Amino acid sequence: MKQPTRRTILSAAPAALAFGAPLLSARPARAAKSSGPGVTDTTIKIGNTCFYSGPASSYGTIGRAMAAYYKMVNEQGGVNGRKIIFISYDDAYSPPKTVEMTRKLVEQDQVFLDAGPLGTPTNSAIWHYMNQHKVPQLFVSTGATKWDDPKGHPWTIGWQPNYQSEGRIYAAYVLEHKPDGKIGVLYQDDDFGKDYLKGIVDGLGDKAAAMLKVKASYETTDATVDSEIIGMKAAGCDVFINTAIPKFAAQSIRKAAELEWKPLHILSSIGNSVAATLQPAGLENCKGILSDFYLKDPTDPAWKDDPGYKWWVAFMDKYYPGGDKTDGGNVYGPSNAATIVQVLQQCGDDLTRENVMKQAANLRDFRVPMLLPGITINTSPSDFAPVKQVQMGRFDGERWRLFGPLLTGAVG
């Protein structure tokens, strides 16, 4: 702790960090002609942005689980002999930071593609850039419907069932089981809520005007949704499509029970977590509620002997031992990453960005262990919605029981 040394070191550090950082890296060498940037004979460099800090950092586990999956792939020999180098940057759910970090990935790190970047506003911010620079923005981790736009944005493709197609599925279910029901919809007053509403309205078709009695919206800042629920009961609704986030979904279930209002209650996949919604709402109040699923719920004991579930547990134990095995994000991450690996595998040695988009639009009956039995991933040049099928489930007071056939609500 001698004075001069300490002072020099401490004073030099911030200066070096501020002025040195932008100047350090020179222009990197161009990649080989036959393959895209980021590809060598032994490696493929890919990247994404994710929220490891900030208001939505609980989703950060998705990025960690993806990294764990790529680690596993590398240990098993990589993709066609090439190891995957996965770079994931934190954007803290801030769109300007997403732009900065994505440009860093594309221009400085020279990644081959953007693999499963997380979030709707964040992906919207780079949507234009990626398509302008013809960099694949593969399997974005968001349920907005706009990602399925092969004509306008041929370099961007979604992954999970989008909200509009879920909305259509609910409408189809109601049309089949309660053709003259009076429907009340609760939705969040923003893009995802409106996506759901549009799907429901489209799905009901010309019966929408007659059946849709109440369209009640809430803001995330509202204290409760009690008055909306009371309004639905008063309007005589006997079908309740509840697309609220967990906090409000739980409130509405409680309020409905209090009012002894017993409609056909459909809960969207946004709010169907047992831990986040049903337990706070009181499990006894949730009996008979319907919802839709596409991934296996890791907390559901029904899967304990399922080979896909067993694979997932083994994967988590070995490659992501710190990960929470009740967190759906840890099911989502590896499932999304597996689809990326499949695309790279299909590319063979023709590792150009054009071929990546060609193969991403050419997935045929691809299976991922943690997708529900029977659900497969399919795409085509005119279909950029990889996971389309879902299965309905009914809550029996303890857990979700899946029933019925796989349903598709594809938009288009």
Tell which one of 93, 147, 196, 384 touches other proteins (CB under 8 A). 93
Tell which one of 221, 223, 305, 405 touches other proteins (CB under 8 A). 221
Using rule CB under 8 A, residue 275 touches other proteins: no
Tokens linked to 326: 């009740």
Q: Which CB atom, from 98 or from 273, has the smaller least distance to other proteins?
A: 98
Antiparallel, parallel or unpaired: β 113-115 and 137-138: parallel
- Report whether 266 contacts 381 (CB < 8 A): no
Q: State the minimum distance, in angstroms, from the CB of residue 70 to other proteins.
A: 15
For CA atoms 119, 121, 125, 131, the dihedral sign is positive
The piece of 114-122, 165-173, 339-347, 366-374 that touches other proteins (CB under 8 A) is 114-122
- Report whether 64 contacts 315 (CB < 8 A): no
Helix, coil or strand: residue 45: strand
Q: Which CB atom, from 54 or from 369, has the smaller least distance to other proteins?
A: 54
Burial 5-39 (b: 16+ CB within 10 A, else e): eeeeeeeeeeeeeeeeeeeeeeeeeebeeebbbbb
- Report whether 135 contacts 114 (CB < 8 A): yes
Give residues 125-154 in contact with other proteins (rule: CB under 8 A). 125-129
Give residues 149-208 in contact with other proteins (rule: CB under 8 A). 189-191
- Report whether 316 contacts 325 (CB < 8 A): yes
Tell which one of 3, 5, 14, 206 touches other proteins (CB under 8 A). 14
Q: State the minimum distance, in angstroms, from the CB of residue 152 to other proteins.
A: 12
Q: State the minimum distance, in angstroms, from the CB of residue 127 to other proteins.
A: 7
Q: Which CB atom, from 207 or from 247, has the smaller least distance to other proteins?
A: 247
Give residues 369-398 in contact with other proteins (rule: CB under 8 A). none
- Cβ-based burial of 369 (10 A; exposed 0-12, middle 13-18, buried ≥19): middle
Footprint on this chain of other proteins (rule: CB under 8 A): 10-11, 13-14, 17-19, 21-23, 25, 27, 52-55, 88-90, 92-97, 99-100, 103-104, 106-108, 120-122, 124-129, 189-191, 219, 221
